Structure formats: C-alpha cells, structure tokens
Amino acid sequence: MKTQLHFNESISWKKGMREKLFIFDTTLRDGEQSPGASMNAAEKIRLATQLEKLGVDIIEAGFPAASEGDFKAVAQVAEKIKTAEVAALARATISDIDRAWEAVSAAAKPRIHTFLATSDIHMKYKLNMNREQVLASAVEAVAYAKRFTDNIEFSAEDGSRSDPDFLCRVFEAVIAAGAKTVNLPDTVGYAIPEEFGDLVRYVLRNTPNIGKAVLSVHCHNDLGLATANTIAAIKAGARQAEVTINGIGERAGNTALEEVVMALNTRPTFVPVTTGIDTRQIYPVSRLVRMITGIVVQPNKAIVGANAFAHEAGIHQDGMLKNPMTYEIMRPETIGLTSNRLIMGKHSGKHALDSKLKNMGYDLSAEELKVIFEKFKALADRKKTVEDEDIEALVNEEILRTSDIFALEYLHVSSGTTVFPTASVKISINGRTVKGFGSGNGPIDAVYNVIAQLTGTKSELLRFSINALTGGTDAQGEVTVRLREDGLVALGKGSDPDIITASANAYINGLNRLEYLKQNPTTTTETL
C-alpha cells in the first residue's frame, strides 16, 4: 500500500529532489500579539539572533507603525541580522509603508509586508470598502512599496473566508504591481485541512501570474488545526509557511514552527520540500521564547513540551529499552535536547560552563559569561548539583534584566502555623537604601506588601506562579509575575532555592521592567 508508514523514511529519502520551503517566522510580530507578550528591543534582538541561528529565512520583526518602541525595535533588529530577511508589517496605507521602510531599510535583506482584508465580512464591517476599492488599495500599496524595494509581500487578511475568485483577482493584481510573495492567511483559524489544501490548489491554478511569486500561508490555531492546515497547504503547493516558536500568537496562537519543521523532517516522503532549519536549535529557542514572554509551554505540547519525549507506561519503557523506534518517532537530540547532561557543580570551571552554555544554544559575550559564572558559583555553593534548568534560569534572568532602579538588599520573614506572617525588607532605589516592615496573609504576601509600600508602585499583580526548576527539595523555585500599570504589562522572573527570595526577586524584576516600559513603550496591539 502506497501510504504505509515507514519509520526510516528519513533515511531513505533522496535530498536532491526537494523544493525549498521558506520559513517565515513571526514570533516577534504575531507572536508578540499574544496577551502580555510584548518584548523590548533588547529581547527582540536576542530572539532574532537565535532565530537566525535556527536558520529561518525571514524574520518578521514587528509592526513599526504601531508604536515608537516597536519602530525602534524593528530598526535595531534590521541592523543586527545579516543572513535572514527582516520583514516589517504595514497596513495598506502610505504612512504605514513609509514607517515600515524607515524601520527596515538598514537590513541586509529588507522586506515590506503589507496587508488588507479580502473577505466580504471584513470589507463590509471593518473596512467599509467594496471589492473594487480593496483591489485598488492593495495594488496602490504594493506599487508604493515598490519605490523602496522589490521584496514585497502582500497578505489577503481573512483569505480563507474570502471569495476564492476575488482572492485570485487580488493576488494577480498585486503580483502585477510587484509583490514577490502573496500570503493566504487563515486569520481566524476557521479552515479545515482538506478544504484549505483545495483553496491553495485553486489559487495556484486560477492566478495566471502566480509563477512570478511565492505562495505563502499563515494559519491561526483557533480550532487546533494550524499545523494540519499548514501541512495541507504545503502539500498542495504553498512554498512559504508563516509560523511562530511554541505556536504563540493572537488568541489561540499561530502555527508552531517546530511542529511544521519536525513533521516535514520526520515524514520527508510525504511532502518533497526542504527547509534551512537547524533542528538542534529548536529546543533552545523554544526555551528562550518561554523565558522572554513568560508564556509557559503546556507539558504535552508537541515537540517542545516537557513530556514530549517522556515515556511513562511500563510497556512503553520496555519497548524503548529494546529499540527506541518502538515508541519514539524522533530522537530528542534532533531538536537539541541534550541526552548526556553534564552535571555541573562547585568544582566546574568557566570553560566547562561556557561549553555547556554553547551546547544549550547560548552564545554569550565574555562580559555576560563573567556575570553568569559568578552567579553559577554562588548557586553551586548552595546547591549540590546545578542542572541545565538552573543554568538556563541564570542566563535568562540576565537576559531579562533591564537597567535596574530597584534591587533587593535584605529579606527576613517570619511565618508558621501559629505565627502571624511578617516581613522585613531592605531594597535600594537608584542606589539609596530604604527599609520597611509589614504583614500579610502569608510570607510572600507580607514581602510583596512591604515592597509595594517601599517602591510606591501602583501596579496590579495579574499573575503569580511558582514552579520547581528541577526535582528534589533543594530545587530552585522559579517565580513568574505579571504586573500591569496604566495599560502596560511587564513580566518579572526570579529563581532561588529559597522561594520567598525568588518571589521577592521576581516582583522587583517586574517592577524594574515596568519602569523600563514606561520609558520605552513597545508595541500596542490595538492598532491591528
């Protein structure tokens, strides 16, 4: 039977016969539209650098017209990235396109990505435009963008719910005006794989000049079908996939890069395409996104979830021991999960730490390595073995640091079954020490009350979560907080074997990041 599954497909497939699939990563733009996931310029640069290392073809860095902060972040990413294309999003208006070009023009390979809705429902209720007006505006936008660059992408927003013939007319017209990529988004995650594949085939057959452009797809995950729809579209002939790391994005998110790439790698005979992705970078970049955005990855998430390679059932474990291929369709090393975890402790030196970090996908500057090494030594004095998760937390806390206004100097709590919880806290504010004393429902509440009093913060605590980084009672607690003030949302993180200290550090980190955001406002997603 032709469709019979072979576990060694990847070994038998001949490389040379595949067509290139362009991977367009929009973690920094659509991913950033996940509630509370806004990133500052330094975080965008850090992530873009990792995405480049991962081998994505295009990095959509942001939406410059949305805010001054995002404009600057896109411009900085554009300057930094050398091998991947850097795209900036723009509505189909002159001012958005000007702004996008201004932000992205310094890139080695800049791209303008302009979009306009083509579905009847969007045109009537959102745009208040008829089909002819939309067609004319789309063409005008692409023709205007062509003054700046040949690398133009046009997206037909809500494409999957658009009249297919109108969609083809729009694509034909924008390609004639100069678009080199035409993108068909399933904006609201409404499509079903078979139907979406058929739509892609229809577009390829009924857009006369489609040969002059790359047909792209961009799927949302409202029905949990984003990856399936993307694969169906690629099978039908789409040659660019728009994706995000961990599938983050607007509402239920976007197609996850790791799912599409690993599906194509694991089943290479199903769709004859190849990508430039170095799959060993998938896990490190997934962890970085988790850390920067504070959006946790569900344990059973495909490819990058904590349980994705864990075998619990006895029968499975037995099979795995006899031959891993009985229950494992991918090797964990393929996505960068290190199998032989080098245990680090207080006798480990800087070189060992450096090589460990490189293995984990972190390329740090000499200055950063120095800071991390000092923190590592301090932790190793308190914890017998320092595991990968501990090291990762140290690195990522460093990444999340902003120029700090507040710092924790001293903390003492008193609590227990018969004691009213109280806290004494000393913090420095711009180098000046202040101290306070207070109480609360529990020790963490008491500490937070004192910190709030000392800093005078008006912020609201939207989320507080504690997670043990590794096993054992000496594990570090990792605390994540989300704070909101005047519409700005900041994430704070802290980790320490003492969970009260971790909580205090997370709150202070969040307050510092909130101050940073006040001075450097980033994306406002309301504009979309």
Kindly list the residues in this chain that would bind Zn ion in the complex (CB under 5 A): 30
Binding partner of residue 157 among Zn ion, ligand KIV, none, CB cut-off 5 to 8 Å per kind? ligand KIV
Tokens of 148: 């700046």
Binding partner of residue 155 among Zn ion, ligand KIV, none, CB cut-off 5 to 8 Å per kind? ligand KIV
Residue 61 DSSP label: E
**Alpha helices for 55-163 (secondary structure H):** 68-80, 94-104, 120-121, 131-145
Q: What are phi and psi of 445, to 5 degrees?
A: -60, -40
CB of 244 to ligand KIV, least distance (A): 10
Other residues' Cβ atoms within 10 Å of the Cβ of residue 409: 11
**Interacting residues with ligand KIV between 112 and 141 (CB under 6 A):** 115
CB-wise, 159 or 438, nearer to ligand KIV?
A: 159
CB-wise, 37 or 386, nearer to Zn ion?
A: 37
Helix (H, G, I), strand (E, B) or coil at 423: strand
Cβ neighbours of residue 95 under 8 Å, at least 6 residues apart? 65
Number of H helices, E strands in the chain: 17, 16
Is 57 near ligand KIV (CB under 6 A)? no
Using CB under 6 A as the binding criterion, the count of chain residues that bind ligand KIV stands at: 9
- Pick the stretch among 179-187, 268-276, 380-388, 455-463 that binds ligand KIV (CB under 6 A): 179-187
Is 155 near ligand KIV (CB under 6 A)? yes
Binding partner of residue 459 among ligand KIV, Zn ion, none, CB cut-off 5 to 8 Å per kind? none
Closest C-alpha to 72, from 49, 108, 99, 47: 99
Binding partner of residue 115 among ligand KIV, Zn ion, none, CB cut-off 5 to 8 Å per kind? ligand KIV
| Cα angle: 90, vertex 92, 95; to 5 degrees | 70
CB-wise, 34 or 155, nearer to ligand KIV?
A: 155
CB-wise, 252 or 330, nearer to Zn ion?
A: 252
CB of 170 to ligand KIV, least distance (A): 14
Tokens of 232: 């169906």
Quote the CA–CA distance of 75 and 71 in Å, as a whole number: 6
According to DSSP, the residues that pair with 423 across neighbouring strands are 413, 438
Is 24 near ligand KIV (CB under 6 A)? no
Interface map 182-221 toward ligand KIV (x if CB under 6 A): -x-x-x------------------------------x-x-
CB of 193 to ligand KIV, least distance (A): 18
Q: Between the CA of residue 525 and those of 29, 405, 461, what are the distances in Å?
A: 10, 27, 21
CB of 418 to ligand KIV, least distance (A): 56
Is 157 near ligand KIV (CB under 6 A)? yes
Residue type at 475?
A: A
End-to-end CA distance of the chain: 48
CB-wise, 218 or 493, nearer to ligand KIV?
A: 218
Is 32 near ligand KIV (CB under 6 A)? no
- Pick the stretch among 96-104, 181-189, 364-372, 441-449 that binds ligand KIV (CB under 6 A): 181-189
CB of 254 to Zn ion, least distance (A): 6
Quick one: how far is CA 86 from the chain centroid? 16
Other residues' Cβ atoms within 10 Å of the Cβ of residue 285: 25
**Residue numbers of the site for ligand KIV (CB under 6 A)?**
30, 115, 155, 157, 183, 185, 187, 218, 220
